[in-house]
Amino acid sequence: MCLIKYEGLSTKEKIIMYFLLYAFIGWCLETIYAFMVFGTFVKRGFLYGPICPIYGFGAILLICNLKKIKNNNIVKFFAAMILFTVFEYVASLILELLFNQRWWDYSNEFMNFQGRICLSFSILWGIFGVLFINYIHPFIENITNKVLKNIPIKIQRISIYTFVLIFFIDEIFSVLRVI
């Protein structure tokens, strides 16, 4: 388990909070990207709600594995590149097995493997991992800690577990829609 410093919430609760937060941010980014490409609102993601879990899982993978690498950006780059590439491949397999759909396809990309992963995105994942750990997450973590400092711990916990319950209900109904 990774260690995320914060007084109040447990490490597990903090991980859950960041998972949900980054999954929501990922959904927002996907929605903005789709709007820019298609010129209209396109519902992104599999779930009914505004959340893309793959972004939450990816963020937690980075936080738990790359925060330990302090000052070596080259090691961070390769670690992020490998972590995300393996994660993307496994996620692609699982999603296809569960739902008989491909959520992304890199078949036309240079040096792809089964259309699930490719060199260009692996390199982007490495760059993004370094930027995320060095700049994005510390910024989000700082803001989050400032906001949470003013909210009673009981309210924080109720909020987190309420969002988890909503997330699981959304998962169930979203899966039932497909099968």
pLDDT tens digit at each of 179 positions of the chain: 555 554 689 999 999 999 999 999 999 998 998 899 888 888 777 889 999 999 999 999 999 998 788 789 999 999 999 999 999 999 999 888 888 888 788 999 899 999 999 999 999 999 999 999 999 999 999 999 999 999 999 999 999 999 999 999 999 998 888 77
CB atoms within 10 A of CB 17: 21
How confident is the model at residue 2, as a pLDDT? 59
14 within some domain: yes
Q: Judge whether 155 lies within some domain.
A: no
* Within-domain flag for 49: yes
Euclidean distance between CA atoms 148 and 160, whole angstroms: 12
Asked if the structure places residue 162 within a domain, the reply is no
Nearest to 19 by CA among 39, 2, 42: 2
Residue with tokens 């090691």: 75
Q: Determine, yes or no, domain membership for 176.
A: no
Confidence at residue 42, expressed as pLDDT on a 0 to 100 scale: 81
Secondary structure (DSSP) of 116-164: TEEHHHHHHHHHHHHHIIIIIHHHHHHHHHHHHHTS-HHHHHHHHHHHH
DSSP summary character for residue 32: H
If asked whether residues 58 and 87 sit together in one domain, one would say: no
Containing H/E element for 60?
A: helix 53-66
pTM: 0.87
Range of the domain at 54: 10-66
